[in-house]
Amino acid sequence: MPEEMSKMCDFQLHDEPLPLKQLLEDCKLALKYQVKTGHPHFFNQLSCGLDIISLAGEWLTAAANTNMFTYEIAPVFILMENVVLEKMRNMIGWRTGDSILAPGGSISNLYAFLAARHHKFPQYKEKGLSSIPGHLVMFTSDQCHYSVKSCASVCGLGTDYCICVPSDERGRMIPTELERLVKYHKDRGNVPFFVNATSGTTVLGAFDPLEEIADICQKYDMWMHVDAAWGGGLLFSKKYRHPRLTGVERADSVTWNPHKLMGTLLQCSTVHFKYEGILLNCNAMSAEYLFMTDKIYDPKYDTGDKVIQCGRHNDIFKLWLQWRGKGTSGFERHMDRLMELAEYQVRRIKEQPDKFHLILEPEMVNVSFWYLPKQLRGLPHDAHKEIKLGKVCAKLKGKMMQSGTLMVGYQPDDRRPNFFRSIISSAAVTEKDVDFMLSEMDRLGQDIVVD
Amino acid sequence: MPEEMSKMCDFQLHDEPLPLKQLLEDCKLALKYQVKTGHPHFFNQLSCGLDIISLAGEWLTAAANTNMFTYEIAPVFILMENVVLEKMRNMIGWRTGDSILAPGGSISNLYAFLAARHHKFPQYKEKGLSSIPGHLVMFTSDQCHYSVKSCASVCGLGTDYCICVPSDERGRMIPTELERLVKYHKDRGNVPFFVNATSGTTVLGAFDPLEEIADICQKYDMWMHVDAAWGGGLLFSKKYRHPRLTGVERADSVTWNPHKLMGTLLQCSTVHFKYEGILLNCNAMSAEYLFMTDKIYDPKYDTGDKVIQCGRHNDIFKLWLQWRGKGTSGFERHMDRLMELAEYQVRRIKEQPDKFHLILEPEMVNVSFWYLPKQLRGLPHDAHKEIKLGKVCAKLKGKMMQSGTLMVGYQPDDRRPNFFRSIISSAAVTEKDVDFMLSEMDRLGQDIVVD
């Protein structure tokens, strides 16, 4: 508990320096009480695990301690960035384009929104929202990451103009609903311009049907963004890429976070564009003091004016080094293995119908299920029981946190109360750990009683 | 040169894994060709140096590899964040308030803009720009960081509505000009709502007069933001805090980057607000799947819904550990020492008027000057000569980069062509290094000839 932790640890800052011995104690304490996100029994977040080569890369990055805005102070890293981002664009299916690393998938999605707005309405940059006749409208599924809605708030549209398209029972956007809503808003004089499709939703791991969404975007001249922050890693897998990401090359922009499925250390998020030079056009503020054109090298190697951050952390070296160490084939094996483990988990859940209730057949490594304590076993499954199962989640999660043996996340969604959603994205996980997850939930949870 | 570097190093990604030996070679090569930003002869950026305790903190952060959005997965670090940010708010002069760490000063400034907009016009979040009668207008000096202008673009105002207030010859915003422009825009039916004052401008290191700006903000009911990303560190110094930052406590929000003057590793940027709870009000998207209220701990410890990034890198541990190691008094000594060294540099420049021309008496560790090669010595100083001195900068900088012995930045501004701006923000710099800077510039530059 926060209050206990504050008592147990001395977090205070003092006027005088503390001795080295105390600093070492501080480090030990921080590691002791920190949650072990690299442990194979941590199934709580989309980012799990601790890739050792990527860790080495991050350590070297810290030692090099540079900023990515100009080639002159980050020559090696800028070139690495070019190589890696081009490779990723090629994997999406594009020959040219533009890309950038951003501090997290939410900011990557924001970049996509900004590029779309600038591409469709270049006068916006100077003149602002009032330069457009009619109100801009964007579309996304009701299962999307909340950062998409946040774009609407940040960028001045207002969240009322970020339209949620209904999804099917598997969490996939319904294309006919998208088209209906686009028409509805056009008829009202609004200006539909941006559609976010999600490849790998946060909760259910669902994949929106990209081909059908691309057709609609084409028909109504809207920008198509694919938020593949979570599912992007499956582009490595011949076995699992299709049909999940079929059509991704028809998008105008794609978010893809290596710090999720690929296991790169936090943070490492990328966003890709089909169009060369679009980031500079969109974001350049022409800061003369930083991005002079009379340098001895070609200023196209300076990236600072392409971004809204100015200073930018070096997030590339840990990914580049990891890729060198794993090889493209290593990432493919990693993806196939994660999916295989999730399939194993689904089988094990189905084998124990008295204790676990699988909510749906997953498309990805998100597995959604309820745990049934003794109190609720053998009763018919209905809405009333679901409410009780929902209450079990919070109690059982509390027990996990207190015992310190396991972390599995839970949440409600539009269709049901709280349910567990486990994630397998750590290379350290084996079948034994999956078995442990289920047996430990049973050990901690069997005697839970809810009203 | 980028082309040579690409030939010298193998940056390619392969299908098959590379052996460990090759990865070690990769690391060596990266460090070899990377610019040594921690070297005391690197005077090029606002962030210089390599604080070893902060580096240790960053290494531990990488090993802990967690995300800052919920207490449940970052318990220790969330509590450290609370302690450090409260301490920083107290140093600004506030008893309560709200703060967050952001990926760089530009995003910190964006947070301030968003909070100001939400505070003044809460309906904006849902209804967007069209919900306001009249066009929002923001003000900043013509010397401000370009991220302020970028806010206007990102957030839908348009850069035409980010009004540049003229500054005096020392680079400080002229308050009477601010008031004149505010009145002008009010008279035209626009809605002035936000003023950015800079404490430590990027190029000249100038401090806008905060008290006078605060009076105007109060009079016209505008939000006052202080971008002290660069100058904030001087809050530690009894000797240099006043008059530079006098009045900062009257601001509504303050950006302050520990990764600049304080020498914390990249990235570490903070933004502070006078008002408790403002970040949650402004940015919350209420993502139910992440920020449930039925947790076993008080959900006020979850920070994810306060930010626009969702996932957030742990930028606190390296600062907290560094602060424990230096003590508040250690940071004060560090600030006083940096300022003393800049004063030493100014004296040395003045002692060599044939070779160096000081542009103005600095208020901070930015020193602005021209170097005179033999060709230009002894000639009267006029506009014609300034153009030539400007040309010398690009040539001399090229020589520095090629020799690899020194890095000093240059840029033009509104009043003059290119000039050098050196920065002393590294704890490793001594008087000897300052002497080296000047003598090395002379060694490399004396024979430069310009048209």
pLDDT in tens, B311-359: 899 999 999 999 999 999 999 999 999 999 999 999 999 999 999 999 9
Task: Sort out which chain B residues have CB atoms less than 8 A from A154's CB and list them.
Answer: 110, 114, 154-155, 308
* Partner-chain contact B329 A16, CB within 8 Å: yes
C-alpha A78/C-alpha A70 separation (Å) is: 8
Are the beta carbons of B154 and A157 separated by less than 8 Å? Answer: no
Q: Residue B288: what pLDDT?
A: 61
Nearest to A309 among B104, B127, B327 (CB): B104
**Yes or no, beta carbons of B292 and A411 under 8 Å apart:** yes
Q: Name every chain B residue with its beta carbon within 8 A of the beta carbon of A77.
A: 30, 34
Residues of A in contact with B286 (CB under 8 A): 146
Residue of A nearest to B319 (CA): A13
Give the helix/strand (H/E) hosting B323: helix B317-350
Question: What are the tens digits of pLDDT across the range B137-169?
Answer: 999 999 999 999 999 999 999 999 999 999 999
pLDDT band at B289 (very low <50, low <70, confident <90, very high): low
Encoding tokens for residue A430? 């084996």
What token pair was written down for A365?
A: 């490594």
Nearest beta carbon to residue B37 from set A53, A65, A105: A65
Tell me which residue in B153, B155, B296 faces A401 most closely, judged by beta carbons. B296
Tell if the CB–CB gap between B296 and A398 is shorter than 8 Å: yes
Top residue of A32, A35, A84, A137 to mutate, by most chain B CBs within 10 Å, is A35
Pairwise CA distance, residues A307 & A284, whole Å: 7
Q: Which residues of A touch B313 (CB under 8 A)?
A: 103-104, 266-267, 313
Give the angle subtended at the CA of A443 by the CAs of A442 and A448, to the nearest 5°: 75
Please answer yes or no on whether B158 and A12 come within 8 Å at the CB atom.
no
Q: Do A105 and B311 touch (CB under 8 A)?
A: yes
Nearest to A103 among B18, B44, B309 (CB): B309
| Reported confidence tier of residue B310, pLDDT bands at 50, 70, 90 | confident
Test mutation, B14, B35, B77, chain A, max A CBs within 10 A: B35
Residues on chain A touching B79 (C-beta within 8 angstroms): 2, 5-6, 9, 11
What CA–CA distance (Å, rounded) separates A171 from B248? 49
In this complex, the residue of A47, A157, A203 whose CB is nearest that of residue B128 is A157
Distance from CA of B421 to the nearest CA of A (A): 10
Cβ-based contacts of A60 with chain B (< 8 Å): 27, 30-31
Chain B: nearest CA to A411, how far in angstroms?
A: 4
Using the beta-carbon criterion (under 8 Å), do B75 and A2 form an inter-chain contact? yes
Chain A interface mutation, best of B14, B34, B45, B312, highest count of A Cβ atoms under 10 Å: B34
Region of residue A227 (left: phi > 0; alpha: psi -120 to 50; beta: else): beta
Written as one letter, the residue type at A96 is T
Name chain A contacts of B60, Cβ cutoff 8 Å: 27, 30-31
The Cα–Cα gap between B33 and B11 comes to 13
The shortest C-alpha distance from A331 to chain B (Å) reads 9
Six-digit token pair at B223?
């939000």
Record: contact A13-B83, CB cut-off 8 A? yes
Nearest CA in chain B to A52: B63
Residues B207-234, mean pLDDT to the nearest whole number: 98
B127 vs A contacts (CB less than 8 Å): 158, 160
E-assigned strand segments in B122-260: 136-141, 162-165, 191-198, 223-227, 253-256
Does B290 sit within 8 Å of A126, measured CB to CB?
no
Chain A interface test: which of B306, B324, B422 (most A C-beta within 10 Å): B324
Supply the pLDDT for residue A289. Answer: 60
A287:B124 CB<8 A: no
User: Residue A97 and residue A254: Cα distance in Å, rounded?
Assistant: 11
Report d(CA A242, CA A99) in Å as an integer: 24
**Residue type at B104?**
G
pLDDT above 70 (res B384): yes
Which chain A residue is nearest to residue B163, measuring alpha carbons? A126
Going by DSSP bridges, is the β-strand pair A407-411/A419-423 parallel, antiparallel, or unpaired?
A: antiparallel
Nearest C-alpha in B relative to A203: B289
DSSP A204-253: T--B--HHHHHHHHHHTT-EEEEE-TTGGGGGG-TTTSTTTTTTGGGSSE
- Are the beta carbons of A413 and B289 separated by less than 8 Å? yes
A-to-B residue pairs, Cβ atoms closer than 8 angstroms: 421
Distance CA A285, CA B157 (A): 15
Instruction: Tell if the CB–CB gap between A324 and B147 is shorter than 8 Å.
Output: no
The rounded mean pLDDT for chain B is 95
**Integer angstrom CA distances of residue B356 from B140, B179, B216, B347, B409:** 32, 38, 40, 11, 15
What integer pLDDT is reported at residue A291 of this predicted model?
A: 64
Among B5, B65, B106, whose Cβ lies nearest the Cβ of A265? B65
Mutate to test the interface with B, among A87, A126, A142, A289 (most CBs of B within 10 A): A289
Q: What is the DSSP string of B219-248?
A: HTT-EEEEE-TTGGGGGG-TTTSTTTTTTG
- Is B23 in contact with A149 (Cβ distance < 8 A)? no
Chain A residue with Cα closest to B88: A13
Work out the average pLDDT over B276-302: 82
Residues of chain A in contact with residue B294, where contact means CB-CB under 8 angstroms, are 394, 418
Proportion of chain B above pLDDT 90, given as a percent: 91
CA distance B187 to B434: 51
Give the whole-angstrom CA distance, residue A386 versus residue A367. 17
Contact check, Cβ <8 Å, B76/A418: no
Place of tokens 């998938």: A105
pLDDT reported for residue A141: 97
The structure tokens listed for A30 are 């921080």
Measured between beta carbons, which residues in chain A are less than 8 angstroms from residue B2? 71, 75, 78-79, 297-298, 301
Distances (CA, A) of B152 to A290, B135, B193, B195, B379: 20, 12, 12, 12, 45
In chain A, whose CA is at the least distance from the CA of B421?
Answer: A289
**What secondary structure, in 3-state letters, does A72-125 show?**
HHCHHHHHHHHHHHHHHHHHHCCCCCEEEEECCHHHHHHHHHHHHHHHHCCCHH
Give the nearest partner residue to A310 out of B105, B114, B159, using CB atoms. Answer: B105
Instruction: Say yes or no for a CB contact (<8 Å) between B407 and A13.
Output: no
Q: Specify the amino acid at residue B257.
A: N
Identify any residues that bridge with B197 across adjacent strands, giving them in sequence order.
B226
Measured distance CA(A371)–CA(A354) in Å, rounded: 9
A17/B327 Cβ within 8 A = yes
Per-residue pLDDT of chain A (451 residues), as tens digits, is 999 999 999 999 999 999 999 999 999 999 999 999 999 999 999 999 999 999 999 999 999 999 998 999 999 999 999 999 999 999 999 999 999 999 999 999 999 999 999 999 999 999 998 788 889 999 999 999 999 999 999 999 999 999 999 999 999 999 999 999 999 999 999 999 999 999 999 999 999 999 999 999 999 999 999 999 999 999 999 999 999 999 999 999 999 999 999 999 999 999 999 999 999 999 988 766 666 677 888 888 988 889 898 889 999 999 999 999 999 999 999 999 999 999 999 999 999 999 999 999 999 999 999 999 999 999 999 999 999 999 999 999 999 999 999 999 999 999 999 999 999 999 999 999 999 999 999 999 999 999 9
A345: left (phi over 0), alpha (psi -120 to 50) or beta: alpha
- Give, as one character, the DSSP assignment of residue A168: -
> Counting beta carbons within 10 angstroms of the beta carbon of residue B155, is it exposed (0 to 12), middle (13 to 18) or buried (19 or more)?
buried
* Spatial contact of A253 and A228, defined as CB atoms under 8 Å apart: no
Q: Which residue of B has its CA nearest to A133?
A: B130
